[in-house]
């Protein structure tokens, strides 16, 4: 059939799918546990929650059994039993039970992770006893002896080949191999067996399946020269096997046992647990299984004695009966979902981005057609261009939608983190979550997981005070941390707010001076009010900055905040921060909903081209110099009743200011109705759709620059970071710039 490397790849892909599937089920578990916690105190727990949890653990159990991750299998089995009892109303959910579910989920996650990283699995005995304690004693049911036979389902080509071989006088055998840990320790695995078999004949068919006891085995159909071996059973002593007869077409509909003899290996130990028909999970590889499943449920035979030895460690199966739940087959989803690799989606996005640039170039060229070009034709072309723009926009929307996932993924994990920390620190914290259904780009979710975890840990470790302190301060004993997510136009806003002790600005300043992060000339006064929260945030985020409190185990060593800021910036977003000593801290993270494409105003400043995101622009003005009012060291302008300060981009960016006193000033007003700034530029070049590319390299972190784009000529154009430019004070860490007026 296939070479050893191909089957290796097959198994590795098998494993990748295993980890991916388990992660999906665990994500469901976390989400449902979140919901469960909130309705724990109600008399009636919603049945769907318990059912979802039960099904997820059931699936994880089956998957882990297939692959051989014993700890995960056992633990998932215990969780599943507990949930069945809850679901069937046999017991009610108590706080200890919920705790056990939470811990169990974490340990389960670790057990699966340990298999992946080839580390020792965590100890599960304690959690198993915890769960057993929550579950009522189970009545052992006497197992029936029903072991249904298994019919190998061959593809038409395989059958043809077999028939051809038979007519050539070859012998056909059906072997069954049951892998076990003992055997694999001796180096005897499915690949070794396959090689052995290939050495003596032609392998027509190989496939894994689950037997009645949820154990994985492999079926081999082999063709050999008749003369060679007459007693294969003893040569290949780890297999059970026997002659195989190709089923004739008629008999497939209704095979009697005369056609096929199949030997599931007998368990050397305790009797098999009873399985009601129709329960065996499908193994979704190679051949479709549904028909064999159906057949298994229809037929029954007694077990024939296994001819050869089968070495196998059996596990002490609990005698809990597994009720016929509707479990989805692991590797082939029964539902309408498709699992897609994120890189494929990234590639799609990239291709859409290129289309956008190309269309923009088309538009430019259309605009530059000579006037002699026939007007009707020009109109047609322009109309086509507009249609193209609309269609591209729809395509872009579509691809974006595909990438969106609810932020609940991240929020659900926070529960666990908070609980752990509560135990570690002895503090009492209530986590309040809202907007979990807010959808954000999957890529953003992946990147923001760690920063958000860090902020939440920070809030618990440094924000919320110990209970006695809180009571002394007149606060409630239970600290509160709020996690909120919402969308506002093209942005997603994530907030983390705590009612703890806030950040001690004085300490931060002191520490910053100690570490040399504030040069002396800048810190004229020690007055904390001189520094706005944004500056403090910048200080906290400088890599290497840490007050004594930062460097404790719960939060890490002064690296965390820097990563938060960098990640958010890389994603094209920004972090805002307010804190009040004694009252608490509030982090607001703005992230763009669309990573890639936006409309921007292209401007020229002192010979350089820049892009300003259109969504932040209020309007564009042309103003005489005499309309400018000087106020101390600021220039402001009054327009239509609003007053706002002017910012010379040239100055900010260390370019020479080339505006002329005699000319009018071109001003781009950015911000919102509350907070505006007028940016002085030389010229407006136009409005363009641009593809935003992040500036990820640490060398390129420049305040006021949010990213880069390309307008079709291969040259990089920088995109301005409007939020930095709006803030009323330029952070004092940056030295004031010199400027030269020409003209």
Partner 1 sequence: MNKSADTSQPFILFELDHTTYGIPSDMVQQMEMVEQITPVPNSPSFVVGVVFSRGQVIPAIDLRVRFGFGKIAYTLRSRLIVINTNERTVGLIVDTAREFVSIPAQTIQPSPEGISSLSGKYLAGIATLGERVILILNVSELLVLPELVSERSP
Name the residue among 512, 535, 573, 505 with its Cα closest to residue 734: 535
Question: Does 517 interact with partner 1 (rule: CB under 8 A)?
Answer: yes
Please identify which residue in 326, 401, 474, 699 interacts with partner 1, judged by CB under 8 A: 699
Place of tokens 């051809």: 164
> Which C-beta is closer to partner 1: that of 144 or that of 702?
702
Please identify which residue in 705, 712, 724, 727 interacts with partner 1, judged by CB under 8 A: 705
Question: Does 708 interact with partner 1 (rule: CB under 8 A)?
Answer: yes
Q: CB 467 → partner 1: shortest distance, Å?
A: 39
CA atoms within 13 A on the CB side of 441: 22
> Which C-beta is closer to partner 1: that of 517 or that of 623?
517
CB of 104 closer than 8 Å to CB of 92:
no
Please identify which residue in 72, 561, 681, 717 interacts with partner 1, judged by CB under 8 A: 717
Count CB neighbours of 59 within 10 A.
23
Name the residue among 127, 103, 124, 111 with its Cα closest to residue 22: 111
Question: Does 697 interact with partner 1 (rule: CB under 8 A)?
Answer: yes
Question: Does 443 interact with partner 1 (rule: CB under 8 A)?
Answer: no
Question: Does 695 interact with partner 1 (rule: CB under 8 A)?
Answer: yes
> Which C-beta is closer to partner 1: that of 60 or that of 649?
649
Name the residue among 35, 36, 38, 29 with its Cα closest to residue 57: 29
- Residue 259 corresponds to which tokens in the numbers above? 């056609």
Residue 128: φ, ψ to 5°: -65, -45
CB of 605 closer than 8 Å to CB of 650:
yes
> Which C-beta is closer to partner 1: that of 120 or that of 520?
520
Question: Does 641 interact with partner 1 (rule: CB under 8 A)?
Answer: no
CB of 709 closer than 8 Å to CB of 719:
yes
Count CB neighbours of 443 within 10 A.
16
Question: Does 694 interact with partner 1 (rule: CB under 8 A)?
Answer: yes
Residue 641: CB partners within 8 Å, gap ≥ 6? none
Name the residue among 575, 515, 574 with its Cα closest to residue 544: 515
Question: Does 536 interact with partner 1 (rule: CB under 8 A)?
Answer: no
SS3 285: coil
Of residues 451-470, those binding partner 1 (CB under 8 A):
none
Identify which range of 213-221, 236-244, 487-495, 514-522 contacts partner 1 by CB under 8 A.
514-522
> Which C-beta is closer to partner 1: that of 471 or that of 700?
700
Q: Give kind and range of the element (H or E) at residue 454.
A: helix 442-458
Q: CB 597 → partner 1: shortest distance, Å?
A: 14
CB of 55 closer than 8 Å to CB of 47:
no
Q: CB 542 → partner 1: shortest distance, Å?
A: 6
> Which C-beta is closer to partner 1: that of 97 or that of 572?
572
Question: Does 656 interact with partner 1 (rule: CB under 8 A)?
Answer: no
Question: Does 702 interact with partner 1 (rule: CB under 8 A)?
Answer: yes
Count CB neighbours of 580 within 10 A.
13
CA atoms within 13 A on the CB side of 27: 13
> Which C-beta is closer to partner 1: that of 428 or that of 542?
542
CB of 165 closer than 8 Å to CB of 221:
no
**CA-CA-CA-CA torsion sign (564, 570, 573, 576):** positive
Identify which range of 302-310, 499-507, 578-586, 704-712 contacts partner 1 by CB under 8 A.
704-712
Please identify which residue in 710, 712, 724, 727 interacts with partner 1, judged by CB under 8 A: 710
> Which C-beta is closer to partner 1: that of 391 or that of 543?
543
Residue 232: φ, ψ to 5°: -65, -30
CB of 546 closer than 8 Å to CB of 557:
yes
CB of 112 closer than 8 Å to CB of 64:
yes
Q: CB 457 → partner 1: shortest distance, Å?
A: 25
> Which C-beta is closer to partner 1: that of 12 or that of 702?
702
Identify which range of 128-136, 163-171, 516-524, 583-591 contacts partner 1 by CB under 8 A.
516-524
Name the residue among 331, 326, 492, 488 with its Cα closest to residue 407: 492
Question: Does 716 interact with partner 1 (rule: CB under 8 A)?
Answer: yes
Identify which range of 38-46, 60-68, 406-414, 687-695 contacts partner 1 by CB under 8 A.
687-695
- Four-point Cα dihedral 611, 615, 618, 619, nearest 10: 50
Size of the residue set binding partner 1 (CB under 8 A): 32
- Four-point Cα dihedral 109, 110, 111, 115, nearest 10: 110
Identify which range of 59-67, 111-119, 575-583, 709-717 contacts partner 1 by CB under 8 A.
709-717
> Which C-beta is closer to partner 1: that of 5 or that of 738?
738
Please identify which residue in 382, 533, 542, 615 interacts with partner 1, judged by CB under 8 A: 542
Please identify which residue in 39, 332, 629, 700 interacts with partner 1, judged by CB under 8 A: 700
**Residue 140-159 contact track with partner 1, rule CB under 8 A, x = bound:** --------------------
Q: CB 562 → partner 1: shortest distance, Å?
A: 11
Ordered DSSP codes for 486-541: EEETTEEEEEEEE-S----HHHHHHHHHHTT-S-TTT-----GGGS-HHHHHHHHH
Identify which range of 1-9, 26-34, 119-127, 647-655 contacts partner 1 by CB under 8 A.
647-655
Identify which range of 329-337, 356-364, 665-673, 695-703 contacts partner 1 by CB under 8 A.
695-703
Q: CB 710 → partner 1: shortest distance, Å?
A: 6
CB of 193 closer than 8 Å to CB of 308:
no
Please identify which residue in 703, 712, 724, 731 interacts with partner 1, judged by CB under 8 A: 703
Residue 327: CB partners within 8 Å, gap ≥ 6? 55, 58, 59, 62, 281
Please identify which residue in 489, 516, 641, 743 interacts with partner 1, judged by CB under 8 A: 516
> Which C-beta is closer to partner 1: that of 134 or that of 706?
706
Name the residue among 650, 645, 648 with its Cα closest to residue 631: 645
- How many whole angstroms separate alpha carbon 323 and alpha carbon 277? 10
Q: CB 490 → partner 1: shortest distance, Å?
A: 21
Question: Does 345 interact with partner 1 (rule: CB under 8 A)?
Answer: no
CB of 591 closer than 8 Å to CB of 723:
no
Identify which range of 55-63, 115-123, 571-579, 707-715 contacts partner 1 by CB under 8 A.
707-715
Q: CB 350 → partner 1: shortest distance, Å?
A: 7
Please identify which residue in 255, 318, 467, 608 interacts with partner 1, judged by CB under 8 A: 608
Residue 114: φ, ψ to 5°: -65, -35
Identify which range of 424-432, 446-454, 618-626, 650-658 contacts partner 1 by CB under 8 A.
650-658
Please identify which residue in 627, 734, 736, 742 interacts with partner 1, judged by CB under 8 A: 734
Q: CB 690 → partner 1: shortest distance, Å?
A: 13
- How many whole angstroms separate alpha carbon 134 and alpha carbon 129? 9
- Residue 646 corresponds to which tokens in the numbers above? 């002017």
> Which C-beta is closer to partner 1: that of 399 or that of 517?
517
Question: Does 731 interact with partner 1 (rule: CB under 8 A)?
Answer: no
> Which C-beta is closer to partner 1: that of 327 or that of 567?
567
Q: CB 589 → partner 1: shortest distance, Å?
A: 23
Kindly tell me the burial class for residue 347, based on how many C-beta atoms sit within 10 Å of its own C-beta (0-12, 13-18, 19 or more): exposed
Query: The sheet that has 683-691: what strands, in order across it?
Result: 683-691, 597-605, 608-613, 716-720, 705-710
- How many whole angstroms separate alpha carbon 192 and alpha carbon 292? 27
Question: Does 91 interact with partner 1 (rule: CB under 8 A)?
Answer: no
- Residues in the site for partner 1, rule: CB under 8 A? 350, 516-517, 519, 542-543, 608, 652-655, 693-695, 697-700, 702-705, 707-708, 710, 714-718, 733-734
């Amino acid at each position: 059939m296939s070479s050893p490397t191909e089957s290796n790849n097959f198994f590795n892909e098998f494993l990748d799918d295993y980890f991916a599937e388990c992660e999906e089920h665990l994500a469901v578990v976390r989400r449902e546990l979140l919901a469960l916690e909130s309705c724990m105190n109600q008399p009636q727990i919603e049945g769907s929650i318990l059912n979802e949890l039960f099904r997820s653990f059931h699936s994880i159990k089956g998957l882990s059994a297939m692959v051989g991750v014993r700890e995960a299998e056992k633990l998932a089995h215990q969780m599943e039993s507990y949930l069945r009892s809850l679901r069937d109303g046999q017991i009610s959910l108590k706080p200890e039970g919920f705790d056990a579910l939470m811990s169990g989920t974490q340990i389960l996650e670790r057990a699966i992770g340990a298999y992946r990283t080839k580390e020792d699995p965590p100890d599960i005995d304690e959690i198993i006893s915890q769960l057993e304690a929550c579950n009522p004693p189970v009545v052992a049911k006497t197992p029936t002896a029903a072991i249904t036979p298994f019919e190998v389902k061959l593809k038409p080509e395989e059958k043809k080949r077999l028939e051809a071989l038979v007519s050539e006088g070859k012998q056909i055998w059906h072997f069954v191999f049951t892998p076990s840990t003992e055997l694999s320790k001796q180096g005897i695995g499915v690949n070794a067996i396959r090689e052995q078999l290939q050495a003596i004949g032609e392998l027509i068919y190989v496939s894994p399946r689950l037997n009645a006891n949820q154990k994985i085995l492999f079926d081999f159909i082999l063709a050999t020269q008749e003369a060679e071996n007459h007693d294969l059973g003893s040569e290949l002593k780890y297999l059970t096997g026997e002659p195989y007869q190709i089923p004739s077409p008629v008999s497939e509909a209704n095979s009697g046992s005369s056609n096929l003899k199949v030997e599931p290996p007998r368990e050397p130990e305790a009797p098999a647990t009873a399985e009601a028909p129709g329960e065996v999970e499908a193994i979704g590889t190679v051949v479709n299984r549904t028909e064999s499943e159906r057949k298994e449920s229809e037929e029954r035979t007694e077990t024939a004695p296994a001819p050869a030895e089968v070495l196998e460690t059996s596990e002490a199966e609990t005698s809990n009966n597994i009720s016929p739940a509707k479990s989805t087959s692991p590797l082939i989803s029964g539902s309408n979902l498709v699992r897609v690799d994120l890189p494929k989606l990234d590639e799609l996005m990239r291709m859409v981005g290129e289309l956008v640039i190309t269309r923009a170039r088309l538009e430019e060229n259309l605009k530059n057609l000579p006037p002699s070009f026939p007007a009707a034709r020009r109109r047609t072309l322009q109309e086509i261009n507009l249609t193209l723009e609309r269609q591209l926009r729809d395509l872009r929307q579509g691809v974006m939608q595909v990438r969106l996932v609810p932020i609940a993924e991240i929020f659900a994990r926070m529960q666990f983190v908070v609980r752990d920390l509560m135990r570690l620190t002895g503090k009492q914290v209530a986590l309040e979550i809202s907007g979990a259904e807010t959808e954000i780009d999957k890529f953003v979710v992946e990147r923001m997981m760690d920063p958000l975890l860090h902020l939440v840990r920070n809030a618990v470790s440094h924000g919320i005070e110990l209970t006695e302190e809180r009571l002394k301060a007149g606060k409630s004993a239970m600290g509160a941390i709020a996690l909120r997510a919402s969308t506002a136009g093209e942005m997603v806003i994530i907030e983390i707010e705590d009612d703890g002790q806030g950040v001690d600005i004085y300490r931060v300043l002191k520490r910053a001076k100690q570490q040399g992060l504030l040069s002396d000339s800048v810190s004229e006064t020690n007055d904390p009010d001189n520094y706005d929260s944004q500056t403090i945030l910048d200080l906290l985020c400088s890599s290497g900055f840490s007050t004594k409190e930062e460097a404790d185990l719960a939060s890490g060593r002064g690296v965390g905040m820097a990563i938060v800021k960098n990640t958010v910036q890389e994603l094209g977003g920004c972090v805002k921060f307010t804190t009040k000593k004694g009252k608490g801290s509030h982090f607001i993270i703005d992230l763009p909903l669309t990573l890639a494409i936006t409309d921007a105003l292209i401007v020229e400043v002192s010979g350089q081209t820049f892009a300003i995101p259109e969504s932040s622009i209020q309007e564009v003005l042309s103003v005489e110099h005499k309309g400018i009012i000087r106020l101390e060291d600021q220039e402001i302008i009054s327009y239509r009743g609003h007053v706002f300060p002017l910012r010379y981009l040239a100055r900010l960016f260390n370019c020479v200011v080339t505006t002329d006193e005699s000319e009018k000033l071109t001003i781009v007003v950015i911000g919102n109705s509350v907070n505006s700034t007028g940016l002085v530029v030389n010229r407006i070049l136009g409005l363009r759709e641009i593809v935003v590319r992040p500036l990820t390299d640490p060398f390129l972190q420049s305040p006021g620059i949010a990213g880069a784009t390309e307008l079709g000529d291969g040259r990089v154009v920088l995109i301005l970071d409007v939020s930095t430019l709006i803030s009323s004070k330029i952070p004092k860490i940056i030295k004031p710039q010199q400027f030269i007026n020409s003209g």
